[in-house]
Amino acid sequence: MPHFVYMLRCRGNRIYTGYAVDALARFEEHCCGRGAKFTKAFPPECMLRTFELGTREEALRLEARIKKLDRRQKDLLAAGDEALSAELLAGLGETLVARKARIRKESVRKK
């Protein structure tokens, strides 16, 4: 079953990022006022972008990475910036141990 991370443009030119198993159904919930507290205050105007991932864990990791971006980066991502997308998607399936090992190797190479 696919898992989705989606970005919405909301009232006041705000961007909301969320996770769902069915992105379109979740968008409708947000539009009807049954979504998140944020989208009740700032109703969604349109869906900007969706990402389909294989596991819930990967989707939640991507959602967290997107939420850490600044506004300029979110605008680039919503516009389809493939380099930023690739950077965010890289290593989503890694375990914490594998990630730490990879970072250690990369830091040794830089020295």
Both tokens of 23, joined, read 């992105």
Q: What is the DSSP pairing of strand 3-10 with strand 14-20?
A: antiparallel
Please, what are the domains in the chain?
3-110 (3.40.1440)
**pLDDT higher at 74 or 1:** 74
**Which residues are CB-contacts of 63 (< 8 A; sequence separation ≥ 6)?**
5, 17, 18, 19
Sign of CA dihedral 31, 23, 50, 63: positive
Is the confidence at residue 103, as pLDDT, over 90?
A: no
Listed range (9-13, 33-37, 105-109) with the worst mean pLDDT: 105-109
